Amino acid sequence: MEEYEDIINLPHWNPQRHPRMPRENRAAQFAPFAAVTGLDDAAADTALQHIAMVDLEADDDVWLK
């Protein structure tokens, strides 16, 4: 703690030239966004195709027995 004794009780710094950004605007900077449009739809379509293939393979196993 000795290293920071000179600054530990200083008031929080506030910029002089620019007003502080409102909390809502700061949070919007980090909001999630879709970097690749259509990726979710493509992934869902691929998942459905694989599920259909697995179902068909399971049906084939039943007929082979």
Q: Are 40 and 34 in contact (CB under 8 A)?
A: yes
> How much is the pLDDT for 53?
80
Structure token digits, residue 62: 């039943």
| Residue-range domain boundaries for the chain | 2-64
Grouped pLDDT means (10 residues each) for the chain, 65 residues: 86 87 81 79 90 71 54
Using left for φ > 0, alpha for ψ between -120 and 50, and beta otherwise, residue 36 falls in: beta
Whole-number Å distance between alpha carbons of 53 and 58: 9
pTM summary value: 0.37
